[in-house]
Amino acid sequence: MKRYTLKAEIRTDKGRQVRRDALVPGVLYGRGVEPIHLALPEADVNHFTQHGTANMLIDLTAGKKKYTVMLKDLQRHRVKGDVLHLDFYAVDLEQKLTATVPIHLVGESPGVTEGGVLQQQTREIEVRCLPTEIPQGFELDISSIAIGDSRTVADIATLGDFEVLTPVTEVVVSVLAPRLEEKDDDELETEETEEEQAEKPEETEAE
């Protein structure tokens, strides 16, 4: 499993002041670890986040101590996209944990080529395993899915030393039939005329 290395300072200033110094604020916590407020070099954080952070093990040095951690949460600026804050969770390499693993669709569905609508209902599944055994992602081949077909969690190749917690019957992706074409103008005009006549009150003869 890929691992990354980061170094952080232990901070006492608030997040806003830290960002003024080209540092990114963060926090480290976990079982048996009291929350530690961190400051990481902005350049290192930007480089780290470009490599994909899902379920990655990180060797984090905080002050003079080293921890094995995972990125629990990452906050970005809504407009600029800059990283504003990082949450790290200290893990025990000997203890199993629950993690969510993304599902990547591969191939081209013939049903979509014929006009069907691809709908992915499930984008990640839960697994339980040791931190070193967490998959980076699962692939699901959709190259044989026709209109009206679907694939479930059971169709994903999940080889590895982990337990899949998501029900195998849960639908991951399906190809729906194309929407019915809109009726032509003549049909619409005829229906509108019939509706207007039905709504028009009957006239009574004058006495």
Name residue, tokens 């599902």: 103
CB 98 within 8 A of CB 124: no
Q: How many helices (H) and strands (E) does the chain have?
A: 4, 13
Alpha helices by DSSP H, 7-155: 15-20, 42-49, 110-113
State residue 63's pLDDT score: 86
Per the DSSP assignment, residues forming a β-bridge with 71 are: 88
State residue 181's pLDDT score: 46
Q: What does the pLDDT profile of the chain (207 residues) look like in tens digits?
A: 668 999 999 988 776 778 888 899 999 999 888 999 999 999 999 998 887 777 889 999 998 899 999 999 999 989 988 899 999 999 999 999 999 999 999 999 999 999 999 999 999 999 999 999 998 899 999 999 999 999 999 999 888 899 999 999 999 999 999 875 444 455 555 555 555 555 555 554 444
Give the pair of three-digit tokens for residue 152: 């479930």
Query: Taking the CA of residue 173 as centre, how many other CA atoms within 13 Å lie in the half-sphere pointing to its CB?
Result: 27
Give the angle subtended at the CA of 122 by the CAs of 116 and 124, to the nearest 5°.
135
Single-letter residue type at 143: S
CB atoms within 10 A of CB 80: 8
State residue 207's pLDDT score: 44
Spatial distance between the Cα atoms of 163 and 51, rounded to a whole number of angstroms = 26
**18: Cβ–Cβ under 8 A, 6 or more apart, which residues?**
11, 24, 25, 39
Q: Give the DSSP letter string of 141-200.
A: E-TT--TT-EEEGGGS---SS-EE-S-TTSEEEEEEPPPPPPPPHHHHHHHHHHHHHHHS
Spatial distance between the Cα atoms of 94 and 87, rounded to a whole number of angstroms = 22
In order of 98, 201, 204, the CA distances from 207 in angstroms are: 84, 18, 9
Domains of the chain: 3-90 (2.40.240.10), 97-176 (2.170.120.20)
